[in-house]
Structure 1
Amino acid sequence: MFTCFLVTAVTLTPIVMMVLVAFQSDTESMAARPSFWPGSWHPENIGRAFDLVPLGRYLLNTVFFAGGTALLETVTAALAAYAFARLRFRGRSVLFGVYLTTLMIPSQVTLIPQFILVAKLHGVDTWPGMILPHAFTALGVFLLRQFFLGVPRDYEEAARLDGANRWQTFIRVIVPLAVPAIATLAVFKFISQWNNLLWPLVISNSDSTRTAAVGLQVFQSTNGTQWNLLLMAAAITTVPLIVLFFLTQRWFVKGITMSGLGGR
């Protein structure tokens, strides 16, 4: 019990400090010996943060980028995972092993080749150029494949006897059973892409496609070290993730257990 409390306190301390400094005045946040508790609260910092940069646009861009990427990753991962779990073809295990080895390649290694490819396809500063390179994930395929392997084949055989083809069996039988695992993967991917900085920073050149993570970099470079406003902008971009977690936290436990990450 004490350990859980200690871990929670250590985890929440930076977040609490961020929120407290966000409501300080300019003088307090820039003091040589800062006091994290505001001498006076300044809720107008919220409006000031939106006035200095198009923060609302950045948030909408982030929702579109993270949502589109998570949707495509989930769809492609589900289709590939079902193929690796149920379809029998020569070299299936070898191909799956090679696919998993891509997890060992750091994203920084493939960043330049990806950018060159997207640039040659005229995808720089466009939504397809931002989203499509992240539409496939080996980790998602692995997680969903583990779940599909646990689904009894009797369900599929019964559907085939009723006249369903392979696609109908997947859509009407497998997908409904896999909702917890698919939902968990979608939430994980949405959160990871919401916090993605490197790829949007490289591929985006204008406010029309800049995400919130890139917007914070722009905020700091254009407005200097106004720590209270910078942390206010950071706090605002964190709120959607907190809301998302509380709305979907039950899927985390179900999905992690059913996808084979429960420590069994």
Structure 2
Amino acid sequence: MAKVTAAELVAFAKSKLGVPYVYGMKGTVMTLAKYNELKALYGALVWDSDKKKVGKVCCDCSGLISWATGIVRNSQGYRDTALEVHPISTISKAPIGAAVWQKGHIGIYIGNGEYIAEDGSAYGCRKNKLSKASFTHWLILKDIDYTVKEEVDDEMVEQAKLIIDGREFIVDRILKDGVNYIKIRDIADVLGYEVTSKGSIAVLTVEQAKLIIDGREFIVDRILKDGTNYIKIRDIADVLGYEVTSKGSIAVLTKR
């Protein structure tokens, strides 16, 4: 099972703003029987007024993260299994989605000096300023994926599957504004052509270029990245007489 990303954790926390707090709850509907069980287990940590929350989805501070990941830990458990532990004074270096922690309490850092947490029975799940809280550390959690993909102008080179007449090929592509651009050398290899090209730019912009195949000239949309040409797949299909359909990282070309 893939880890929840830091961005997904933050989005999840934002979607739970307003969910009532009850100590020991992990994001499920609290029944009267559950309330009585928790009250017997934890005493004063479960408020008498929490009984009014019966019938509602409730959660506690560590439960908010456990709810997002499906891995149940208490606040101390998150501290003990953290991959990194740093003093809260260095929070400016923390990635979005890091945990903010103090003994007995945990929240989620969302940037701009703010956090989201199930902040106790009086507040429920809320967004608040770190300056108004008492967190002592921030944590890189074992259960969260903090990997950030390298991007250029919000586009990145990734591998995709190209299917031509039923044959499958792995090619490099850039997805820009929902449009696939395929590395021209990969297209040439697939079709059995040699390719030569000139020109390079560092910024990803769509521009028109001339494509010459067997002496025939065509005008196509292309992106130049680090000296490599990426051609709009629909233009390639039109040039070669194919229909093209695409979904996610798979493009399918079939003869008309």
TM-score (norm 2): 0.23
Larger strand percent? 2
Higher gyration radius (CA) = 2
Q: Which has the higher helix share?
A: 1
